[in-house]
Amino acid sequence: MTVRAPELLSGDWVTGGPLSLRALRPRAVLLDFFTFGCINCMNNLPMLERLQSRYGDSLQVVGVHSGKFAHEKEADAVRAAVARLRISYPVLNDPEGRLVDQYAVKAWPTMVLIDGNGYIAATFRGEAQGVAIDLALQKLDLLPREGTAESAALPGPLRFPEAVVRSDEQTFIANSGGGDVREYNAAGQLVRRFTPFRTPAALALWEGMLYVADRAAGSVCCIDLRTEERTVLFEQLRSPSALIVEEETITIAEAGAHTVTVYDKASLRPLQTYGNRFEALRDGAGEGAQLAQPMGMARCDDGTLWFVDAESSALRYIENGHVHTVVGEGLFTWGDSDSDPILLQHPQGIACGRIGDGCGGGRLFVADTYNGKLKVYDPQSGRMMTLMEGLQEPAGVCKQGCSLYIAESGAHRVIRYDLSSMSFETYIA
């Protein structure tokens, strides 16, 4: 039985609208129901851009954004995300989820193919559906164009930076929206750029080597800062979003796989994986635990590995082979509270305060991304405190002495927060 597709009457057009299914006939329409914080949704975007380019005027891709978190429902946040994610096709923001209900969408991402007569032809759920969608389009007698090209990265100085790391004299920034990694000297002057990357999301420094996790490419490489020689260490990862490099190991958080894996640095063989690849919040040993889009990690002085789970809005740690949770209650519990209970909203960055480095020793500094805040957590007392608010999607954070360096992604800058004076300044923009 054929079902006529509900018209696009709900929500507000962020880009490219208003459009109607009736006016788009006889083109086929592919609706992508997504939310911008969902890593699986992000992974689908290059495929959707390729389909739009491949089929040209015979197909119209339309994004239907229906946010999970409160921040994801805000029109300005969606507009910024469309720019950050380089979405070229029209996007409709459906914060109340009316279209989600009308199309019986139960998961992100879900794609609904509508034929040239306005009827639902097929529904696809999850990632890696490109081949299936291609076949469905060809069954509708759509023919791909020849010689289509990939979309180019947006130009600009800093564009949605996601990570920052520092040595004594250098600052490195993962310029996610610009597709490069940038090195600055102690005066904040640009020294050099490392290109090309698709979406550099995490950085680590170790003995003259810069390690870069490219989330969109699913890879981790290292760059010799003396010779600029680049070596790819890992490929076919699922959205690597955090890195820790140490004497004998490399630890990678794969947001798309919902895992944290420790690798032997010499052989690159996995030593231990935490998380069983199902998105949830459950403590336990190794693969008996469940994670939910880990996006920031830090190793503290006592050897404890702390991380933030974005989709469960959780602060967690790994100790003696076990995953433990100190903040977070599940995939659909979040908020903005420093006590009774402590609640976060999609945190993406974390840094440890080193004992004896000047300020904040033993504390954890958390980028509470969707609340637009920088917070500090004391593991000994279990207390949380807000240090800064009014930020635009703070992502990565690192600490050096009494200074915190925060990649304020939505403001296209890195800021420096002075813990001794409780003040901040724009460091690099």
**pLDDT computed for residue 130 by the predictor:** 83
Average pLDDT over residues 241-268: 97
Assess whether 94 and 190 both reside in one domain: no
Above 90 in pLDDT, residue 345? yes
Assess whether 113 and 235 both reside in one domain: no
What band does 155 get if pLDDT is binned at 50, 70 and 90?
very low
CB atoms within 10 A of CB 132: 13
**List of residues 6+ apart from 209 with CB closer than 8 A:** 222, 223, 224, 225, 245
Assess whether 125 and 188 both reside in one domain: no
Assess whether 382 and 292 both reside in one domain: yes
**List of residues 6+ apart from 276 with CB closer than 8 A:** 287, 288, 289, 290
**pLDDT computed for residue 226 by the predictor:** 93
Residues 13-69 have pLDDT tens digits of 999 989 999 999 999 999 999 999 999 999 999 999 999 998 988 999 999 999 999
Structure tokens at 108: 């992100």
Residues 352-382 have pLDDT tens digits of 998 777 788 889 999 999 999 999 999 999 9
Above 90 in pLDDT, residue 186? no
**pLDDT computed for residue 119 by the predictor:** 95
Q: State the CATH number of the domain containing residue 225.
A: 2.120.10.30
In a domain, 175, yes or no: yes
**pLDDT computed for residue 147 by the predictor:** 46
Instruction: Give dist(CA 101, CA 358) in Å, integer.
Output: 53
Q: State the CATH number of the domain containing residue 117.
A: 3.40.30.10
**pLDDT computed for residue 1 by the predictor:** 61
Assess whether 292 and 199 both reside in one domain: yes
Assess whether 59 and 192 both reside in one domain: no
**pLDDT computed for residue 275 by the predictor:** 97
In a domain, 197, yes or no: yes
Boundary residue ending a domain (139, 172, 204): 139
Please give the share of the chain, as a percent, with pLDDT higher than 90. 84
Assess whether 98 and 169 both reside in one domain: no
Q: Are 242 and 253 in contact (CB under 8 A)?
A: yes
Assess whether 298 and 383 both reside in one domain: yes
Residues 81-122 have pLDDT tens digits of 999 999 999 999 999 999 999 999 999 999 999 999 999 999
Assess whether 73 and 171 both reside in one domain: no
Structure tokens at 370: 């969707």
**pLDDT computed for residue 176 by the predictor:** 93
Domain residue limits at 354: 163-428
What's the first-to-final CA gap in the chain, in angstroms?
55
**pLDDT computed for residue 225 by the predictor:** 94
**pLDDT computed for residue 35 by the predictor:** 96
Assess whether 127 and 182 both reside in one domain: no
In a domain, 7, yes or no: no
**pLDDT computed for residue 354 by the predictor:** 84
Q: Are 90 and 15 in contact (CB under 8 A)?
A: yes
Assess whether 192 and 299 both reside in one domain: yes
- Cα distances from 46 to residues 42, 87, 88, 127, 379, in angstroms, run 8, 9, 11, 11, 40
In a domain, 144, yes or no: no
Assess whether 210 and 106 both reside in one domain: no
- Cα distances from 159 to residues 81, 136, 153, 179, 387, in angstroms, run 12, 36, 10, 9, 25
In a domain, 6, yes or no: no
Instruction: Give dist(CA 86, CA 193) in Å, integer.
Output: 21
In a domain, 116, yes or no: yes
Above 60 in pLDDT, residue 151? no
Average pLDDT over residues 125-139: 86
Above 60 in pLDDT, residue 123? yes
Instruction: Give dist(CA 50, CA 137) in Å, integer.
Output: 13
In a domain, 155, yes or no: no
Structure tokens at 107: 């998961």
Q: Into how many domains does the chain fold?
A: 2
In a domain, 39, yes or no: yes
Average pLDDT over residues 385-399: 96
